[in-house]
Each structure stands twice: as C-alpha cells, then as structure tokens.
A = this chain, B = another copy of it.
Amino acid sequence: MALKHAVLAALLDGEYSGYQLAKAFDVGVANFWHALPQQLYAELTRLEADGLVAGRQVVQETRPNKRLFQVTEAGLAELQRFAAAASKPSFIRDDLLVKVQAVDRIEAAPVIEQLTERARIADAKVEIFGKLLARLRGTATEEEFLAHGAPIGPYLTCLRGLGFEQETRDWCERIAGVLRERAAGSPELSRRGPA
C-alpha cells in the first residue's frame, strides 16, 4: 500500500484537493508516483477515515465546491514509519521495451515509430522538469540550493525525474537510429529477422 504514502508525501507540499492531486499524479509532473483520479479520491477518503489527513470543504461561487486536504500529525507519524522501513526494489515495466525485445521477429517499422514518439514525449518532460527545477530553486544556483534550500525533497525527486526522462529520450533516439540503419541495410529484417 504505497499510494497511501505517496499521497501523504505529496500533501506535505501544502493543501490540495483530490482534483489537484489527480493532475499532479497523472500528467508529466508526477515525478515520484503515478495514479488515476479514481484511485486518489478513494485513497483520500480512506486516509481521512484513518485520521491521517484532514479535509475541509471550500465553497466556491463559480466552480464546484472542493475539499482541501492536509496531513495530520498521525499522518506524518505514519510517513515516518514508512520511511524507516525497507523499500521494495523498483522495476522497469514498459510496453515499449517488450516490443523492442521482440524486434528481431516482428516488423520494426511501428516500433521505430513508437520509439520516436516516446523520445518526443520524454524530451517534453525534460523541459518541464527543467523549468520546474529552476522555479523550485529560485535565484540560487543548484549547488547552493542543494546545500541549503528548502524544501529539498521535491527538488530531489524532480532531479530523478529529469535524469530518467533524459535517459529515456537518449535511449529511444539511439535505438530508433540503430533500427532504422538496420532496416535500411537489410530490409527483409523487418519481417522474419536473420538466421
């Protein structure tokens, strides 16, 4: 049950509604976890029932009302416990890698296309993370911010996101290039592969 702790960690940043969390956990800026809105609303309900977060109703004129949540003392204690316990190892689990693994025996063209597209997406995330990092550290240099800035947690996870997306982009571009070259060199590769 780690989404629970991911939500708690995200809420340390300030008060958020389920909707706001959902956007952070969905689109690019989910730098340390990913979840769908339905999961988040359910999780927030559970967390509130357990007293780990406290929600308050905010009445809005022009928009539907919303509930803002913040972490309680009990929630912080729970996070503390979680952080002290051992972490599970993390694994890559990626459709695109499965396709690349099989590329000797299937048509390469759609795989190349998807690698190119994925590189584009990763590059867009690199930009987003770059800007987010700049915003987080304000006028300080990275060195200064890492030494003394606060909060540092979101900055550090964002650095990880940046590194991950850069790696993804570079690998996708390189592999797309390799597969294109090979297809050009021996077009029959794309159907049955070599002996």
Q: Which residues of A contact B (CB under 8 A)?
A: 2, 5-6, 8-10, 12, 30-34, 76, 79-80, 82-84, 86-107, 110-111, 114, 118, 121, 146-148, 150-154, 156-157, 159-161, 163-164, 167-168, 170-171, 175, 178, 181-182, 185, 193-195
Residues of B within 8 A of A84 (CB): 107, 110
Q: Provide the main secondary structure of the chain A interface.
A: helix
Minimum CB–CB distance from A78 to chain B (whole Å) comes to 10
Contact A80 B106 (CB under 8 A): yes
Contact A152 B103 (CB under 8 A): yes
Return the chain B residue nearest A99 by Cβ: B83
For A32, A118, A146, A154, the residue with the greatest tally of chain B CB atoms inside 10 Å of its CB is A32
Contact B97 A82 (CB under 8 A): no
Residues of B within 8 A of A79 (CB): 102, 105-106
Residues of B within 8 A of A33 (CB): 91-94, 97-98
Contact B175 A156 (CB under 8 A): yes
Complex Cα–Cα for A118 and B86 (A) = 10
Copies in the complex: 2
Complex Cα–Cα for A146 and B178 (A) = 7
Contact B175 A100 (CB under 8 A): no
Residues of B within 8 A of A98 (CB): 2, 5-6, 9, 32-33, 82
Contact B147 A185 (CB under 8 A): yes
5 extra interface residue pairs, beta carbon distance < 8 Å, beyond A5-B95, A32-B98, A150-B195: A9-B99, A33-B92, A146-B178, A147-B185, A160-B171
Residues of B within 8 A of A171 (CB): 159-160, 163
